[in-house]
A and B are shown apart, each in its own frame.
Chain A
């Protein structure tokens, strides 16, 4: 197939990334050509989108993502995002994007103070973004979460700003599993090309493994990447 029909999407691999392979599997299954990019690389190569996968980058013994933001690959991701490239951070990737200042807020320990792994329902608040275009407005998605620090927090004025601009794209629908402000499960940057979410869409693409609702998120990213690809080829 041509590179346009299978857009190249970078999956950044940090030491301690755990869901990088899952993300690669899912993106490939959804029609992308996922390429692993080592954290030490400061050049992403010719890619149409970037995924920061889940895991415990550098062990996350410090605040989650606090070390990963200093990696050479993050410099490249920042340049890519500044140029309008779509960037999706999943779980640890979301934490890293917040630490790097590419997304507002921080992820704090879950209110329960315990790690939690289970399917949750999230509501798509905006189906027009680069990451939700395969969803219907208000659609409920079932996607697993698995994190110890997923309680998104931002100061009230930031939350108000995000609410006004509709940048809280995904919200927990049946109970809030971690105590995040405004039930936020996924937030978007101002330019609309960087999103972070705590649920793991890459773990909800295969009917053998449960829900396939995550394919709507990752599929949207693949569509976005595909629409960008001609400009890059």
Chain B
């Protein structure tokens, strides 16, 4: 779902004094009501509460409509006003993030952010979470996470060219393996390479895993497609998969509530992915865009048609939708079910009537159902009809702009000291699943399809060539180090880590996307964490001078009252001037140096990032010193280079980078403090043979 560019405040939103109050019934007390809300209503459990709306929100809806909402309308409001769609606890905080810049063609508020790459090219990208579905069913949750973010990028008119996934689990056990298999099953099948990401194992995620997926797409800069409907009389065309009961209410039931013992009962709310249809949807959508057959595109994600049509209609246009025209995959769906179904692999397009036959022809060739289900009007109303009868009518702005925006009380929580793993012996750190090679994971993903992957996964950022030129994109996705509990530092280090990774691959960071994974924001400590992390992201992004152009918020990541640690995960896209001149592997005799910056000094860190990508053509190797520490990073650099190094006494170097270059090139490196730590050569590093180190590091699973 999209962030609102300029969130407004609803007048009667509960103030801080009356907040918090029981927002929703706890899941355990009303398990059936949340799965089948309209049939599980009782005197004690009124419909709006069963749908997840507060009494105050119910009153506000009545006030806005100036009448009682009917059940259809209440169901639509409950989804659009959920945290997942409405960002009601986060919208105000998100305004803090910098989102402008010369390259920004599309900032937050659309399906994905778009940046100008020059030379007529643009990049669209976004990261999105699929945490709760993955906790309930790891394979399908992860697979549909891929499908969903890919459609966001398609909706901008871009061809998806890379996926990155951020996975945080308790341990590399069955649930994790199923999630990896799910990412692969979808990504591999649709022909989009999975080129990077991060994997973190931490007990803190054992009951509430994180599956964050980032998609990067390319498009001509003159062809940015948007979701907004325009032109009264234009047709609203639904194409892709048929509509069923899968994922009914997923947005409110799963994404916006905590998990508990009854989680398995939520299985009916998890969608099932169909990558074959997803692949056809990519090709058909791009053909529609390339041939100029559509005015706008929108994917169907959380809250299905309700959310997509509300987004399309929000800018004063209106939409009439005839729900009886929607192609169904099962009999007897109620209009409200059709309206909010989260069946996957569906898109809506706005099409001018004369172009409908051509649109139908494209979809027919890709064997996708394609139906004109409605019209764009000038009424500003989202009006749903069933066999000609109006079943619901809501001013679209009430669903989006008028969604409640809560100012949540915040209470600082003194973070527990960070657990530093540096005292552990090197061998143990290499064997630890977090320090070990992730090869066994990324080898399960096709990272080559598309013929753009100049640098494959394995070190910092992958590099994609912008064919046919020799320019490229460096892409990375990174969250805080395992054990990080300070939310502001988590935000700062996620941004700087992602940017350093991109810079080490020779990319000038040009844009960021963020996925904010937190606990229940109705708790003051969590609200404080969220605000602090956003502050951290903003500080680091400002220091780098790079905008945050898209993102996603995943709250309520708690299980039985235990929240996950603050986990902002940040994706960075960098522009590589010449993919033939990027750091690769150090060579015998190269000087090995540590480029340092005070890890608590954001400005100095940003300067380091700038130096790294500017030095890139000079360097034989550059490698980010991540949370594992300098020794682990040196081993990684040596194994990547397949060449050892003689190094002297090492101090800790977290937050810096290892660089290598020829002695002759040394004078060209300036701008940040550099410390010579050794010379490349031989088959040992840190007194251990490379083959032994490799064996230790490959044993991580």
A-B CB pair tally, cutoff 8 Å: 86
Select the stretch in A17-25, A122-130, A186-194, A217-225 that faces chain B.
Answer: A17-25
A18:B444 contact, CB within 8 angstroms: no
For chain A, the count of residues having a C-beta within 8 Å of the partner chain is 31
- Across the interface, A59 reaches (CB within 8 A) one of B275, B451, B454, namely B275
B445 touches A16 (CB 8 A): no
Smallest CB separation, B454 vs chain A (Å) = 6
Q: Does A93 contact B (CB under 8 A)?
A: no
Q: Binary interface profile of B, 441-462, with partner A (CB < 8 Å = 1, else 0)?
A: 0111111111111101000000
Among candidates A25, A56, A202, A203, residue contacting B279 with C-beta atoms closer than 8 Å:
A56
Which B residues lie within 8 Å of A61 (CB)? 276
Task: Say yes or no for B218: interface residue by CB 8 A criterion.
Answer: no
Using known A-B contacts A15-B366, A56-B275, A56-B276, determine if residue A25 contacts B191 with beta carbons closer than 8 Å. Answer: no
B559 sits at the interface (CB 8 A):
no
Q: How long is the Cα–Cα vector from A118 to B453 in the complex, in angstroms?
A: 13
- The answer to whether A209 and B276 have CB atoms under 8 Å apart is no
Known A18-B191, A208-B465: A115·B451 in contact at CB below 8 Å? no
A15 touches B280 (CB 8 A): yes
Instruction: Flag A45-80 by CB within 8 Å of B: 1 or 0 each.
Output: 000000000111011110000000000000000000
Instruction: From A22, A26, A115, A200, give the contact of B445 (CB < 8 A).
Output: A115
B349 contacts A by Cβ under 8 Å:
no
CA distance A15 to B444 in the complex (A): 23
CB of B189 closer than 8 Å to a CB of A: yes
In the assembled complex, the Cα of A210 lies from the Cα of B579 at a distance in Å of 13
B451 x A18 contact (CB < 8 A): no
Minimum Cβ distance to chain A for residue B453 (Å): 6
Bound Cα distance A171, B658 (Å): 40
B298 at the A/B interface (Cβ < 8 Å)?
Answer: no
Number of interface residues of B (CB under 8 A): 34
* Contact assessment for A22 and B449 in the assembled complex, using a CB-CB cutoff below 8 Å: yes
Contact A19 B191 (CB under 8 A): yes
Residue of B184, B274, B443 contacting most chain A CB atoms (<10 Å)? B443
Is B190 in the interface zone, CB < 8 Å from A?
A: yes
Write the A179-208 contact mask toward B (1 if CB under 8 angstroms, else 0).
000000000000000000000101100101
B131: which A residues are within 8 A, CB to CB? none
Q: Which of A6-33 contact B (CB under 8 A)?
A: 15-19, 21-22, 25-26
Q: Smallest distance from the beta carbon of B396 to chain A beta carbons, Å?
A: 35
Contact B448–A200 (Cβ < 8 Å): yes
* A52, chain B: closest CB distance, angstroms: 15
The verdict on A116 contacting chain B, using a C-beta distance below 8 Å, is yes
Q: List 10 A-B contacts (CB under 8 A).
A: A18-B279, A18-B449, A56-B279, A61-B276, A116-B444, A117-B444, A118-B443, A203-B449, A208-B454, A209-B451
Known contacts A146-B448, A203-B451; 12 additional CB pairs below 8 A are: A19-B449, A21-B451, A22-B451, A54-B449, A59-B279, A115-B446, A117-B447, A118-B443, A203-B449, A208-B465, A209-B452, A210-B456
